[in-house]
């Protein structure tokens, strides 16, 4: 707020505004700064693979995307009601871009987001198991409101990997 006050004092004609108006401007500056800082933190923690926004999504390209569906997903209601979204299609149609754009929108809406490729997620869980931190790793995944798992089932899973993936899915079912 001190920076906002300093910036205000440098604006010509600011004296014409009343105390309440100037205070409201300062509160708005502070609120915007706090929101932007929290968003930066959520996006950093999300580790999204691509910098993507739904506004950048080209709906004219023939990929079978429905404008109404994209608008519905952009509202975030599916996250609030703990629904899952499965993006399918051939290689190169932009599934990762769309997933990251949905993740970015969720972060803007205030939800914690985490992006992981399935092989890396399973490796992280195996390492956590060996280190004795598997419970906390599963808890962290369960608490993340939006978990984006990319590169789904590109390789055959081992029994331990199947068990770990089932734990992640079970912990999140109808909750996140």
pLDDT at 63 over 80: no
Tokens 């962290």 belong to residue: 140
Query: In a 3-state reduction of DSSP, which class is residue 148?
Result: strand
Instruction: Please give the DSSP secondary-structure letter assigned to residue 157.
Output: P
Q: What is the mean pLDDT of residues 94-104?
A: 94
Higher per-residue pLDDT: 168 or 6? 168
Tokens 């009601």 belong to residue: 81
pLDDT in the model for residue 61:
72
Q: What is the mean pLDDT of residues 73-89?
A: 93
pLDDT in the model for residue 126:
95
pLDDT at 95 over 80: yes
Can you tell me the distance from the alpha carbon of 131 to that of 28, in angstroms, rounded to the nearest whole number? 46
Can you tell me the distance from the alpha carbon of 24 to that of 26, in angstroms, rounded to the nearest whole number? 5
Q: Is this structure's pTM higher than 0.95?
A: no
pLDDT in the model for residue 108:
96
pLDDT in the model for residue 17:
86
Helix (H) or strand (E) holding 151: none
Helix (H) or strand (E) holding 116: strand 113-117
Can you tell me the distance from the alpha carbon of 107 to that of 98, in angstroms, rounded to the nearest whole number? 14
Beta-bridge partners for 149:
116
* CB-side neighbour CA atoms (13 Å) of 13: 0
Can you tell me the distance from the alpha carbon of 24 to that of 128, in angstroms, rounded to the nearest whole number? 48
Phi (first) and psi of residue 140, to 5 degrees: -60, -45
Q: What is the mean pLDDT of residues 114-141?
A: 95
pLDDT at 60 over 80: no
């Amino acid at each position: 707020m001190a920076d906002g006050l300093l910036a205000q004092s440098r604006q010509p004609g600011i004296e014409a505004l009343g105390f309440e108006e100037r205070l409201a401007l300062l509160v708005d500056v502070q609120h915007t700064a706090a929101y932007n800082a929290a968003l930066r933190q959520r996006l950093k923690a999300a580790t999204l693979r691509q910098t993507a926004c739904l506004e950048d999504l080209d709906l004219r390209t023939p990929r079978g995307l429905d404008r109404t569906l994209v608008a519905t997903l952009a509202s975030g209601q599916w996250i609030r009601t703990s629904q899952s979204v499965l993006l399918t299609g051939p290689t190169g149609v932009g599934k990762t871009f769309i997933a990251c754009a949905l993740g970015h929108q969720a972060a803007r809406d205030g939800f914690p987001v985490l992006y992981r490729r399935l092989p890396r997620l399973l490796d992280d869980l195996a390492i956590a198991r060996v280190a004795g931190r598997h419970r906390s790793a599963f808890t962290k995944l369960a608490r993340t409101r939006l978990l984006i798992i990319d590169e789904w089932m590109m390789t055959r899973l081992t029994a331990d990997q199947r068990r770990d993936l089932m734990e992640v899915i079970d912990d999140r079912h109808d909750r996140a």
